[in-house]
Structure 1
Amino acid sequence: MSHTPGTESSAPAAASSGEREPDGPAEFVEVDTLAGRVRGRWRPTVRRAGDASGGGGAERSAAFLGIPFAEPPVGELRFAAPVPKSPWTGTLDALEFAPTAQRGDPGVTLIPEPSVPGESTLNVNVFTPSPTAPASGGSGLPVLVWIHGGGYFAGSPASPWYDGRSFNRDGVVTVTISYRLGFDGFGWIADAPSNRGVRDWLLALEWVQRNIAAFGGDPGRVTIAGQSAGGGAVLTLLGMPAAQHLFHGVYALSAALADVAPARSEAFGRALAAEAGAEPTRAGFGGLPEERVLELQKQATELGPDTLGSIIDEGLPLGPTIDGELIERPTLESLAAGVGRGIPLVLGATDDEFTMAFAEAEKKLRWVPKSLLLKKLGMPKDRLKPYLRANADVAAKGTARIGGRFLSDRMFRTAALRVVEAREAGAASASAGADASAGTWLYRFSWPSGAFGFAEHCLDVPFFFDCLDGPAMEPLAGPNPPQALADELHTAAVAFIGTGDPGWPTAHGPAPAAKVWDVPSRVQPDAYASVGPLR
């Protein structure tokens, strides 16, 4: 008998099409959550030869896929705040990924992130080496909660790259969460609650606090992490007073903060409603088919030559919005005021996040003066020459490469430095007797992809998850990416999740040191010096 994700049953269900039939009940494992019992499946965890993480490690772990933390956001709940999932009877099969908020083919992406059809899109996936509650007085294992990226309009928690197998092997319970995307998650609607996607994050993290001990995790040692929009998500949460009790460490990869201004968010929502011929209300948007809203959203956010400048200058039009309620002010202002100062943070970026934006035009751009392209991309005239001097090695590789480096610096690398500065200001503003400020650690991912020849957006993700043997790896990293680098980076991530310290010096002052992930890796003083002319 086949099973459907999210269905209840009283006996083990057969594996889905494409998987082997289970051998028997021993292949399954059941856990009681506060809403009801869930059934997961055991899998092996394979320790690679030469693994640098040390110790014996778990030989198997359990995967619980598609556990709902909220009611399906459809019908009357479509543009509402998430509603906690009501209890169920029997046992819920958690053997397959549940529906995703991402619909259809997301197009060309660097990370394989499948779309799964269906309505129950607010769910979590739990990967654990120890799916039992700790004994009385025990603390359980440290927990990683991953928030996927995708520009706040795409992405999927069902990516095989986000599987927690390697973290499980090294004693970390891993959770991936879903959230509403695009206009459904972040669009302004006159009579709807703001930041619905942010509210989904909060409810998912509340679910972790209330349930993760049943899966062997310690709710007092939760690290939230994410990449790109997911990195922006975890920094947004770090700057939210209402979220401080939900996590104890933050790891932000290539963070893309949105901090959408309320006027811009409202203008976007009204324009979308006008284009659809609907009122900008829950009833108006609720009367539109989901496909129509997605079509209008895509038209309004499509990236091209005419919109690139506004994205660089103003940021994304859909994403966490400064609503004065959940998000009281821009994230950097919150951090500088001391919000989250007691929570340790690791953040950084790849060296050439968006250089691939010019890959197809590289041959044409070699005839374009570097100064002309940089000015078109928004380079201030008085900073042009200092910037070219500071990045002479990249400029020597051509106009496309220096243009891509400038985009990467403006959108990601300078932002990381501003977060370091804001955290230092927040620590300095602490009053006498206040709790101690936690450390901030900076990194650069510099290893050049064997496919692109530079360290592009998303390249560090499979090193973080230690999944270089995963699918679709060669188009991103080329053949034979260095496993030793994945061992080292992943081990540092495990150390941070477990202890709050990744193992290199913290970032301080106007020229902070950073860990440079390359072959070999190193700690480099003033590691972001080439960004200096833009600060």
Structure 2
Amino acid sequence: MPDAPVVAVSTGRLRGVSDGGVDRYLGIPYAAPPVGERRFREPEPPVVWEGERDASRFGATAPQAPYPPVIGRYLPTVEIPGDDFLTVNVWAPAGRVPDAKLPVLVFVHGGALTRGSAALAAYDGARFARHGIVFVSVQYRVGQEGFAVLDDVPRNLGVLDQQAALRWVRREIAAFGGDPARVTAMGHSAGANTLAALFALPDAAELFDRLILQSGPLTAQPVEKAARMTRAIGRKRGVAPTRAGFASVPAADLVATQTAVSAGASPLGRGPAVALAIGGAAIPRNPVDALLEGAGAGIPLLIGSTSEEYRLWLVPGGAVERISRATLTLARLVARVPKAVVAAHARRRPDASPGEILGEVTGDLLVRAPLTRLADSRIGSAPTWVYEFRWQSPVDGLGAAHAMELGFVFDRVDADDSVLMAGRGAPQALADAMHRAWVSFVVDGDPGWEPWSAARPVQAFDAAGGRIDRAPRQDELEGLPTG
């Protein structure tokens, strides 16, 4: 067994674990525990410790509830008790030379802003480290602890947590052999949403040098809409929507009440939900507006989605089968979607049910259309690469659902939580192709396919690997509302 690796950061020494050519340092505080007097406040600097801190285990997870069983059988939850959950985890090549200045990849997990953990097996960074990358994963506040809209509390505390983590990386990553001037940030789903918010800030280049956004919205909500969940929880708990009011309720009870309020929501997003709120230092304006006007133009971007995002939310509980033609028509009218868009989907998939068409249109409204507009806006200003994940899982009709690509990007299709969605025997050739492309982007700034242009080249990933598809399904995007 190799000797335990030790590094020194500004707050103390860390004793990690070395295995398989990779050193791991887990549960490293980038901010002080956000409990007690620090609850519902901006992240504060981490506490200095004496001696060597054990960094062989993941830190605590943020307060949260498991996913409902219908989704939870595909999306596992890791729960580790404790207060010290503003932490990062670092994987670095073992035997690296001092001052190695290796490229750095920082991963921000998803979870609808209410769930998620960096401790999931599929998020293990060892495969990236074996390619000479220093990999970092981030834990942050979720749910009401991170995204409550309270009258006297800075908005979007979870985004401020991530900002603090990225600044920690700039300060400290050299101790692990990383180059603080070669930092790529990568977010999935809600993690992509929060990173898009940071991408839209004037000081984004202080936080990262390249960016990967996977299956994430680019928007935040007006405060009145974003506050609906917080207000509903306050009414149920009988407390004011203030720091004092919410701090009087234990975190576990806030989680339980939030879960109860969410239980009545529609899979298509009606009802109160946790969301990014426009306003304040973290999100001064709607990120997509700032990005379309040129924010982040100097930062190379890799962005994309799966081809059937909706299937994770609508298929497992059977909602896709209960959506009628009348419901599709009503939803189309409410969302101001032209009839021609629905007709285009029906032409491509004449056997598709109304629920499948509505799911596809919803996915385009939330993810594919905005990312296409963003990529178009960056032509001539900064290189952008777009991908679409199309491999269809045989598990329970999930197909190319939301989050299906993660096991392939991490080259962890054999991890237990990847198998839950993709099944056993997922194509390793696809994992090889995607992981190689992500590594190439982090190391060289180019994933290996044609950058975005007026021809709209999209790298389509399926069982055979990757290939360019130009302006795919363009007729399904034409005329979609932009506001």
Normalising by structure 2, report the TM-score: 0.91
CA shift in 2, pair 1:27/1:470, >3 Å: farther
Deviation at 1:242, TM superposition (A): 3.2
Q: Which runs of 5+ in 2 are unaligned?
A: none
Other-structure match for 2:308: 352
SS in 2 for 1:115: coil
C-alpha separation between the residues in 2 aligned to 1:337 and 1:235? 14
> Which residue identity is paired with 2:86?
L
RMSD: 2.4
Q: Alpha carbons of 1:382 and 1:337: their partners in 2 closer, same or farther (altered >3 Å)?
A: closer
Deviations 1:494-523 (A, max 9, x none): 0101111111112223x6110000133210
The 8 Å contact of residues 265 and 317 in structure 1, kept in 2 or not, is answered as yes
- The alpha-carbon deviation at position 319 of structure 1 amounts to 3.1
Letter of the aligned partner of 2:8 in structure 1?
D
Instruction: Confirm whether residue 265 of structure 1 aligns to residue 226 of structure 2.
Output: yes
**1:186-197 to 2 correspondence within 5 Å?**
186-197=147-158
Partners of 1:407 and 1:355 in 2: CA distance: 11
1:176 alignment partner AA:
S
2-side partners of 1:199 and 1:365: how far apart? 40
Give the Å deviation of 1:382.
7.0
Q: Give the gaps of 5 or more residues in structure 1.
A: 1-22, 45-59, 428-436
- Give the distance between the partners of 1:304 and 1:93, measured in 2 at CA: 42
- The superposition leaves residues 33-77 of structure 1 with CA deviations (integer Å, 9 ceiling, x where unpaired) of 111000000111xxxxxxxxxxxxxxx101111011111111100
Is contact 1:357–1:404 with CA below 8 Å preserved after alignment? no
Query: Of 375, 389, 394, which residue of structure 1 is paired with 2:349?
Result: 394
Within 5 Å, which residues of 2 pair with 1:226-375?
226-302=187-263, 304-305=265-266, 308=268, 310=270, 317-359=273-315, 365=321, 371-375=325-329
Does residue 42 (structure 1) correspond to residue 18 (structure 2)? The answer is: yes
Counterpart position of 1:4: none
State the distance in 1 between where 2:439 and 2:52 align.
32
Tell me if structure 2 keeps the 8 A contact 1:64–1:125.
yes
Counting only pairs closer than 5 Å after superposition, residues 148-159 of structure 1 correspond to structure 2 as 148-159=109-120
Q: Name 1:378's counterpart in structure 2.
A: 332
1:31 matched to 2:24 = no
CA gap of 1:30–1:299, structure 2 versus 1, over 3 A, is same
Match of 1:444 in 2: 388
SS in 2 for 1:222: strand
- Give runs of aligned pairs for residues 218-229 of structure 1, distance below 5 A: 218-229=179-190
CA distance in 2, matches of 1:309, 1:226: 21
- 2:150, 2:254 → 1: CA distance? 13
Alpha-carbon contact 2:301-2:384 (below 8 Å) kept: yes
How far, CA to CA, are the matches of 1:68 and 1:232 in structure 2?
Answer: 23
**Which deviations, in whole Å up to 9, do the C-alpha atoms of 1:173-231 show, x marking residues without a partner?**
10000111011101112222222111100111111011101101111111100111011
Equivalent-residue separation in structure 2 for 1:124 and 1:363 (angstroms): 37
Note if 1:114 corresponds to 2:75.
Answer: no
**More off after superposition, 277-286 vs 316-325:** 316-325
Distance 2:63 2:251 in 1: 12
Post-superposition offset of 1:411: 2.2
User: Could you tell me how far 1:356 is from its partner in structure 2?
Assistant: 3.8
Larger Rg: 1
Instruction: List per-residue Cα deviations over 1:380-432 (Å, max 9, x = no partner).
Output: 687234433344333414334323322322222222213223434xx6xxxxx
Deviation at 1:359, TM superposition (A): 2.3
- Relative to the length of structure 1, the TM-score reads 0.83
Matched residue, 1:411: 366
1:461-500 alignment to 2 at 5 Å? Answer: 461-500=406-445
Q: In the alignment, which residue of structure 2 is the partner of 1:146? A: 107
1:265 CA displacement: 3.4
Structure 1 stretch displaced more, 175-184 or 284-293: 284-293
Cα separation, 2, equivalents of 1:422 and 1:226 = 21
